[in-house]
């Protein structure tokens, strides 16, 4: 009886941990920007979501960019409706922008904005894993 109860408790805790994972967590492919694209790994950073460049590619294939390991999605706080707000870094010009992110299944739209969010550029990312 004790073993059954213990097993049930462990299984419940495991399911609770899986339920707490944000739907945005995983590996995402960016759009091509300045002739290259990247795989970005999104995961938890405190109560927010952060993303780090994990692999980079250009027209010749995979290459070792100096940006691997750099954070590109910064402190995206979930709003609870599939949207997030935080900051994004654009490697092409080394600037950080007001960031907005929205998730719909295996598609993620990332926006980098200036002028208080009035002018934005966007990329559509697809889930790799």
Q: Tell whether 110 is covered by a domain.
A: yes
Instruction: Please give the Cα distance from 85 to 98 (Å, whole number).
Output: 8
Q: Tell whether 92 is covered by a domain.
A: yes
Q: Tell whether 9 is covered by a domain.
A: no
Domain region containing 104: 23-127
Q: What is the CATH number of the domain that holds 73?
A: 2.40.128.520
Q: What Å distances lie between residue 90 and 6, 46, 55, CA to CA?
A: 48, 22, 15
Asked if residue 71 lies in contact with residue 89, where contact means CB atoms within 8 angstroms, the answer is yes
The number of folded domains in the chain is 1
Q: Tell whether 18 is covered by a domain.
A: no
Q: What is the pLDDT of residue 20?
A: 57
Q: Tell whether 30 is covered by a domain.
A: yes
pLDDT by residue, tens only, the chain of 129 residues: 444 433 433 443 343 343 457 899 999 999 998 899 999 999 999 999 999 999 999 999 999 999 999 999 999 999 999 999 999 999 989 999 999 999 999 999 999 999 887 899 999 999 998
Q: Tell whether 63 is covered by a domain.
A: yes
Q: Tell whether 3 is covered by a domain.
A: no
This prediction has a pTM of 0.81
Q: What is the pLDDT of residue 117?
A: 75
Token digits for 23? 């739907």
Q: Tell whether 2 is covered by a domain.
A: no
- What percentage of the chain has pLDDT greater than the value 90? 76
């Amino acid at each position: 009886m004790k073993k059954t109860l213990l097993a049930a408790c462990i299984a419940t805790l495991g399911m609770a941990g899986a339920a707490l994972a944000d739907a945005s967590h995983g590996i995402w492919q960016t759009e091509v920007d300045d002739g290259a694209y990247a795989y970005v790994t999104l995961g938890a950073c405190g109560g927010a979501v952060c993303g780090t460049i994990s692999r980079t590619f250009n027209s010749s294939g995979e290459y070792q960019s100096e940006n691997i390991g750099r954070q590109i999605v910064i402190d995206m706080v979930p709003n609870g409706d599939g949207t997030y707000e935080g900051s994004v870094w654009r490697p092409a010009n080394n600037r950080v922008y007001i960031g907005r992110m929205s998730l719909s299944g295996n598609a993620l739209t990332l926006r980098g904005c200036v002028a208080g969010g009035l002018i934005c550029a966007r990329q559509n990312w697809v889930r790799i894993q």
